[in-house]
């Protein structure tokens, strides 16, 4: 399973670099055509909406104070990743983001079949 974990790491890095650099076509190309995408509890209706969001998000991104990626291979063709990010919004609030992606390998390429992202603002005094 270590080789699958390594492949998932590579696919994740490629997709994340494309997102960071605004290569939104590469981002949506890393997704299955019938992807299920949930953003803060709301189902995103299509890859076109995902691409529009990707193209409109301001870059460069704030530097994350926490960026942890856990990779879980399931089979030779499936696995999932969980990324936990923390950003400083301002002097009083931090933003926690939890991103889960389910990956499937088809025709030798890893693609995202399910993507869920949840953001939560927390007061620094609450932490």
Is 70 exceeded by the pLDDT of residue 88?
yes
- What pLDDT is recorded for position 126? 57
Q: Is 101 exposed, middle or buried (0-12, 13-18, 19+ CB in 10 A)?
A: buried
Is 60 exceeded by the pLDDT of residue 86?
yes
Rounded to an integer, what distance in angstroms lies between the CA atom of residue 66 and that of residue 104?
27
Report yes or no: 104 and 111 within 8 Å, Cβ to Cβ: yes
Is 70 exceeded by the pLDDT of residue 35?
yes
Report yes or no: 34 and 47 within 8 Å, Cβ to Cβ: no
Is 90 exceeded by the pLDDT of residue 124?
no
Compute the average pLDDT of residues 66-84.
98
Compute the average pLDDT of residues 38-47.
94
- What pLDDT is recorded for position 125? 79
- CATH number of the domain that residue 43 is part of: 3.10.450.50
Rounded to an integer, what distance in angstroms lies between the CA atom of residue 62 and that of residue 68?
16
The domain in which residue 116 lies consists of: 2-126
Compute the average pLDDT of residues 79-108.
96
Q: Which of 72, 99, 82 is nearest to 7 (CA)?
A: 72
Count of structural domains, the chain: 1
Is 90 exceeded by the pLDDT of residue 27?
yes
User: Looking at residue 77, what DSSP letter applies?
Assistant: S
- What pLDDT is recorded for position 83? 98
Compute the average pLDDT of residues 36-61.
94
- Residue 24 dihedral angles phi and psi, to the nearest 5°: -70, -25
Q: Is 66 exposed, middle or buried (0-12, 13-18, 19+ CB in 10 A)?
A: exposed
């Amino acid at each position: 399973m270590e080789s699958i974990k390594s492949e998932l790491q590579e696919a994740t890095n490629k997709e994340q670099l494309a997102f960071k650099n605004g290569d939104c076509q590469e981002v949506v190309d890393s997704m299955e055509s019938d992807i299920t995408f949930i953003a803060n509890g709301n189902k995103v209706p299509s890859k076109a909406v995902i691409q529009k969001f990707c193209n409109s998000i301001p870059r460069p991104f704030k530097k994350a104070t926490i960026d942890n990626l856990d990779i879980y291979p399931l089979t030779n063709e499936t696995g999932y990743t969980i990324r936990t990010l923390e950003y400083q919004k301002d002097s009083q609030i931090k933003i926690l983001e939890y991103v889960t992606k389910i990956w499937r390998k088809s025709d030798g390429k890893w693609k995202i079949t399910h993507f869920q992202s949840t953001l939560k603002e927390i007061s620094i005094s609450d932490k």
